[in-house]
Every structure is written in structure tokens, then in C-alpha cells.
């Protein structure tokens, strides 16, 4: 139950990205008066605006959060279902790695369109005011107050709760660092560059559309996700020092001819050479902090709390799940912020660190492991075991992407499963080898090799021991 005093409480959300907009919807439904401040102008007025990571994959966690807000069907309508990973080998071969059980799917979604829809849904809620081109300059979680800059003017607002959904370089988080917060950030040596595969001359997709395309090349990789306009957004992930070696248009072409030969005809040679130098490679960062709250007055969510490298496609999914779980806790503690905020940190911090580790691990898997026979064997064994024991054995990828198991728990379960499966495979392999050695020894002992009539001897031995 929400009492009258609580209904008048004010929430200041900083950041009008997907996580901030969804949080605005949930908080307004709990009777709070919500002011959402966004530093940029309203992206709904810039229909052709292209921003960072135009296309991203949305999976169960993100979709569950959208479902609670009643927006999942609308978002599914602007997404492309994806059924499997499509691996482009270096020798021109390709194969598919299915995601798992039927009915589990990813959506390739236009990030900006998703953001637009969430902003519009938030705007329609009672007690939500959206403020654009207002940048948070500083906040004080102790009072709490937040100071915004708009066209050179500064305004300070008093509020009840500050929710920092202001992304990787969060100002809210910076202000909370003055309290008791542990914080670390780490850049990986790899950066990313976005390229485009346009529609083919017939106006259709140039590659099979319902797949996450991956070109694993061990030290680096390229991926492609489909867009609704029949193009693909390609992302090349590579060490920064490798980008530095590509200086001219002919270097670009030579590089692609060597590593991504099949991508050149679909990208278009000229377009590739032009677009490669259009923007510098962007850095990739992991941010970890603990806790995610300050007293009962400030909390951070999404990239502000746990920016991760994008290799599991979980950055946004985990951010939307933050908003969903925060709302669940609000329900549980009747919106008592003094209890809700610590409970949110307790529930989410280890999970946030978990997805940071998983995302770093998955880069190795995507750029290197997917191209190895051991990985393919493990995938087969994993899906067979999952088929036989659907709830006891869930492959790592499925736990991350198609379940709501906390990420830190995913790591623990996956380690246990790996130990069991690897040991079983090694035991079966060693037993097979031991059996062979034993068979050869038996043949030798029986004098079959000694008789020099090996073929007849083997036949006899096989008949005696196995065929009969
Ligand atoms: P943001 O989207 O960064 O939004 C923060 C908002 O706060 C912005 O609008 C910003 O303008 C505003 N802001 C910042 N500072 C201030 C301030 N001082 N005052 C007011 N406003 C401010 N995730 C997935 O789930 N699946 C994927 O497939 C995927 N692919 C990715 C691919 C790449 C290459 C990258 C880089 C990321 C990918 N992600 C993916 C991650 C995803 O994009 C982010 O996790 C997600 O956008 C985070 O949402 P957010 O709302 O927390 O932060």
C-alpha cells in the first residue's frame, strides 16, 4: 500500500536512455512524482539520428522487464527474431550453432527506436515529466539535491530519491564515490568499429537474416546483426594496435581480403574503404562498483552501475532487469526506500560483477573457441544433456540469455557443469583408449601378431570377444 505522504515523494531520474525511461514508468506506477532529466535533445524528434550500437540483441531478461511494463509486444514488433549463430570460417566454410530449445529467441532491435518507444510510454504515465537538454552537473545524495545545467543556467532541485541511469560515465556514480563505494574501471586492449552491410541490389538482406553472424579470427572478430531496413550492422572488434596498422584504403581491402573475404562482396568494396575511416575505433570498458546505493536517497542502475563489454549482448538486458528487480523489491518492501535500496544492492551487485566476468569470457568464446572442434563437441554434448535433463543441466549460453538466473549463480552452476561434463568426456575418452590398448595387448599375447597372419588373427579375436 502506498500512503498519501509517499505519493507526494519526488524521484529524480538522471538519464533518458532505455533504463532511465523504463524506471520512470515503474516508479510513476508506484505513485511517485517522477522528473526525468536527459542531457541530449529528445531523440524522438530526430528520426534519422544514428547513435552508438544501433542494433543490439534483446533476450529474456530485457523482454521480461518490458513485459512488466506492458511493452514487450510493441518492442517485438520492431525486432527481428534470431534463431542461431552463423559462423563464417576463415576458409570460406560456414555453419550454424543453434541457441538451444525451440521457442527461445533473441531479438535484434534498433536501440534508438526502443529508447523512443520507452520515452513515449513514460511520458504517457501520470506524474512523469521529461526534461531534455538538461545535464546533471553534480548531486548530493546526503540531502539529496541535484544540480542541472540548461543553456548555461544552473538549477538545483531538492528531491526524495536520485536514480542514476546516466550510463558509463555516470555523474551520479561519481558523486556517490564520496561515500563508501568501491569502484574500478578497466579498458580492454580491444576497440570496436561499426560498419554496414547494405541491402542487396534486389532490396533484400545480403546474408541470411535471422542469425547473429560471427567471423571468429582468434585474436579478433567481426559480427553482424540484421536491421529492419534489410541492412546489417557489422561490428569489428580488434586490438587497438591492429587498427593502427591499417592506414590506407588499400590496407583495408588487403585486410578484409585476407580475413573476411566473404564479407567484401556484401559490404561493397568502395563503401568498405570509405566507411572504415569514417570514425575512429571506440574503446570498451568494464565498470564495477559496490554498493549500488547511498542510504535511502540515491541508487544507480544499468551501465552507470555495471558497464560491461558487449560480447554477451547483456548490457542493456541486465540494465532493464535492474529496473524490473528494483520494482519487485519496491513491491516487497512497500516502497520503503531505506529498506529497498540496500536490498537492491544485496541482490544485484554480485550479479553485476558476474555479467562483467561472463562478458569478458564470451569474447574468447566468440572470437576463438567457436572455431574449435572441442567447442563444437561440447555444444553437442551440452544440448544432449539439456534435452535429457532440461532443468538440471542448462548450457551456459542458455542460462545467460534465456533464463533469469542471477549471473553470479550462472557462473557457479556453469563451473560445476563444466567439471562434470569435461571429466565425463575425458573418462570416456581414456576408457576407450585403455580398451584399445588392452585389445592390442590381447592380440599380441595370443600370438596373433607373432603369427604374422594379423588380419585373420584380428578377425578371430573380434569374433571371439565382440561379435559372438
Ligand atoms: P545509456 O544507454 O548509456 O543511457 C544513458 C543516458 O544518460 C544517455 O541518454 C545520456 O545522454 C544520459 N546522460 C549521461 N550523462 C548525463 C548527465 N550528466 N545528465 C543527464 N543525462 C545524462 N546490450 C545488450 O543488451 N545487447 C546487445 O546486443 C548490446 N550490444 C552492444 C554493442 C556495443 C558495441 C555496445 C558499445 C554496447 C552494447 N550493448 C548491448 C550495451 C547497451 O548499449 C548498454 O548496456 C545500454 O545502452 C545501457 O543503457 P543505459 O540506459 O544504462 O545507459
- The helix (H) or strand (E) run that includes residue 235 is strand 232-239
- Mean pLDDT, to the nearest integer, of 80-97? 89
What's the 303 CA to ligand 1 centre distance in angstroms? 6
Ligand 1, atom 16, lies closest to the CA of 166
Q: Quote the pLDDT of residue 368.
A: 72
Identify any residues that bridge with 164 across adjacent strands, giving them in sequence order: 14, 300
Q: Distance, CA 304 to ligand 1 centroid (Å)?
A: 9
438-467 mean pLDDT: 65
**Per-residue model confidence as pLDDT tens digits over 387-400:** 899 889 999 999 99
Quote the pLDDT of residue 3.
40
Instruction: Write out the DSSP string of 371-405.
Output: GSHHHHHHHHHHHHHHHHSTTT---HHHHHHH---
Q: What angle do helix axes 111-124 and 18-29 make, rounded to 10 degrees?
A: 20
Which pLDDT score, from 0 to 100, does residue 2 have?
39
Q: Which of 312, 397, 406, 404 is nearest to 101 (CA)?
A: 397
Nine-digit cell string for 161:
530519491
Q: Report CA(149)–ligand 1 centroid distance (Å).
A: 21
Q: Which protein residues touch ligand 1 with a CB less than 6 Å away?
A: 14-20, 37-40, 52-53, 56-57, 135-136, 165-167, 171, 192, 235, 302-303, 310, 313-317, 319
The pLDDT score that the predictor gives to residue 294 is: 97
Dist. CA 37–CA 302, nearest whole Å: 16
Distances (CA, A) of 463 to 16, 453, 458, 459: 75, 16, 8, 6
pTM of this structure:
0.89
Read off the pLDDT of each residue in 422-443 and give the average, rounded to a whole number: 83
As a whole number, the mean pLDDT across the chain is 90
Q: Which long-range contacts (CB under 8 A, 24 or more apart) does 305-308 make?
A: 305/164, 305/173, 305/348, 305/352, 306/352, 306/353, 306/355, 306/356, 307/167, 307/168, 308/355, 308/356, 308/359
Q: Which residue has the higher pLDDT, 4 or 53?
A: 53
Is a pLDDT exceeding 60 seen at residue 442? yes
Kindly report, residue by residue over 262-313, the tens digit of the pLDDT: 999 999 999 999 999 998 999 999 999 999 999 999 999 999 999 999 999 9
Tell me the pLDDT band of 456, cut-offs 50, 70 and 90: low
Please state, in angstroms and rounded to a whole number, the distance separating the CA atoms of residues 21 and 348: 20
Look up the CATH architecture of domain 10-78+108-186+288-367. Answer: 3-Layer(bba) Sandwich (3.50)
- Domain borders along the chain are 10-78+108-186+288-367, 189-282, 372-468
Closest CA to 139 of 17, 35, 40: 35
What is the average pLDDT across 215-224?
93
Coil, helix or strand at residue 201:
coil
**How many percent of the chain have pLDDT more than 70?**
91
Residue 256 near residue 263, CB atoms below 8 Å = yes
pLDDT of amino acid 455: 61
- When pLDDT is averaged across residues 155-164 and rounded to a whole number, the result is 97
Please work out, in degrees rounded to the nearest 5, the angle formed at the alpha carbon of residue 52 by the alpha carbons of 276 and 280. Answer: 35
Amino acid at each position: 500500500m502506498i500512503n498519501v505522504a509517499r505519493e507526494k515523494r519526488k524521484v529524480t531520474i538522471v538519464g533518458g536512455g532505455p533504463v532511465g525511461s523504463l524506471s520512470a514508468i515503474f516508479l510513476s506506477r508506484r505513485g511517485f512524482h517522477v522528473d526525468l532529466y536527459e542531457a541530449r535533445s529528445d531523440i524522438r524528434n530526430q528520426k534519422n539520428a544514428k547513435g552508438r550500437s544501433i542494433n543490439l540483441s534483446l533476450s529474456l531478461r530485457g523482454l521480461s522487464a518490458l513485459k512488466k511494463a506492458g511493452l514487450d509486444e510493441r518492442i517485438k514488433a520492431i525486432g527481428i527474431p534470431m534463431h542461431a549463430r552463423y559462423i563464417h570460417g576463415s576458409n570460406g566454410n560456414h555453419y550454424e550453432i543453434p541457441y538451444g530449445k525451440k521457442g527461445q529467441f533473441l531479438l535484434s532491435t534498433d536501440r534508438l527506436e526502443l529508447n523512443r518507444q520507452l520515452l513515449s510510454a513514460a511520458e504517457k504515465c501520470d506524474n512523469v515529466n521529461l526534461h531534455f537538454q538538461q545535464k546533471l552537473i553534480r548531486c548530493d545524495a546526503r540531502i539529496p539535491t541535484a544540480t542541472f545545467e540548461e543553456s548555461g543556467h544552473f538549477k538545483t532541485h531538492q528531491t526524495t530519491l536520485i536514480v542514476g541511469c546516466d550510463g558509463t560515465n555516470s555523474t551520479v556514480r561519481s558523486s556517490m564515490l564520496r561515500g563508501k563505494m568501491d569502484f574500478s574501471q578497466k579498458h580492454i586492449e580491444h576497440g570496436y568499429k561499426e560498419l554496414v552491410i547494405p541491402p542487396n541490389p534486389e532490396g533484400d538482406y545480403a546474408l541470411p537474416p535471422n542469425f547473429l553472424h560471427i567471423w571468429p579470427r582468434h585474436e579478433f572478430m567481426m559480427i553482424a546483426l540484421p536491421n529492419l531496413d534489410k541492412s546489417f550492422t557489422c561490428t569489428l572488434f580488434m586490438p587497438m594496435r591492429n587498427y593502427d596498422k591499417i592506414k590506407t584504403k588499400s590496407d583495408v581491402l588487403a585486410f578484409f581480403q585476407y580475413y573476411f573475404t566473404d564479407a567484401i562482396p556484401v559490404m561493397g568494396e568502395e563503401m568498405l574503404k570509405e566507411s572504415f575511416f569514417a570514425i575512429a575505433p571506440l574503446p570498451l570498458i568494464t565498470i564495477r562498483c559496490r554498493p549500488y546505493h547511498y542510504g535511502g536517497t540515491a541508487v544507480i542502475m544499468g551501465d552507470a552501475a555495471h558497464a560491461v563489454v558487449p560480447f554477451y549482448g547483456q548490457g542493456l538486458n541486465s540494465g532493464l532487469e535492474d529496473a524490473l528487480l528494483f520494482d519487485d523489491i519496491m513491491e516487497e518492501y512497500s516502497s520503503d526506500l531505506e529498506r529497498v535500496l540496500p536490498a537492491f544492492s544485496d541482490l544485484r551487485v554480485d550479479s553485476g560483477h558476474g555479467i562483467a566476468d561472463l562478458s569478458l569470457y564470451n569474447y574468447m568464446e566468440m572470437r576463438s573457441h567457436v572455431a574449435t572442434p572441442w567447442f563444437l563437441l561440447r555444444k553437442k554434448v551440452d544440448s544432449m544433456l539439456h534435452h535429457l535433463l532440461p532443468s538440471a543441466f542448462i548450457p551456459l549460453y542458455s542460462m545467460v540469455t534465456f533464463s533469469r538466473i542471477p549471473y553470479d549463480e550462472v557462473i557457479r552452476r556453469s563451473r560445476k557443469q563444466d567439471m562434470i561434463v569435461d571429466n565425463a568426456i575425458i573418462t570416456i575418452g581414456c576408457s576407450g583408449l585403455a580398451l584399445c590398448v588392452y585389445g592390442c595387448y590381447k592380440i599380441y599375447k595370443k600370438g596373433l601378431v607373432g603369427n604374422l597372419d594379423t588380419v585373420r588373427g584380428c578377425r578371430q579375436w573380434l569374433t571371439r570377444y565382440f561379435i559372438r
